[in-house]
Amino acid sequence: MIDLAGQAPVDGYEVPDRLREATHLRSPVDVFPYGTNLTRKKDVDHTDPYIDPGDGGPPDQTRLDNLSPLTRFHHRIKTHGRWQVHQPFNGVFVWRSPHGRLFLVDHTGTHKLGAAG
């Protein structure tokens, strides 16, 4: 049994196996809007980009409420494309498309929120 609420954060960039497993249990499907991939072979991404503590980044950035499972393609779109994501609550993701459309992704799926404004 894994206690999702009791997962201790770490200061390093690499995601420990226990946090990787907790991320999958919390969000078993790719959290990109309309994602359908259920495989465990997804990337575990820092929702807010990781900044090395030596470069002024805060401690405890690698924690469950800052991790999101994404396929490699969706991870690259998020990192290098114009998609933006925010995780206001653990397991709840608000995405903004390059065209300003907002999507909420949670354990029930993807929900259109309309245009950002």
pLDDT digits (tens, 9 = 90+) for 40-67: 999 999 999 999 999 999 999 999 999 9
Give pLDDT, residue 41: 94
Give pLDDT, residue 9: 86
User: Which tokens hold the place of 59?
Assistant: 């401690």
**Secondary element (H or E) of residue 18:** helix 17-26
Q: What is the pLDDT of residues 2-29, one digit of tens each?
A: 777 788 888 889 999 999 999 999 999 9
Distance from the Cα of residue 97 to its chain's centroid:
15
How far is the C-alpha of 73 from the C-alpha of 95, rounded, in Å? Answer: 16
pTM (two decimals): 0.91
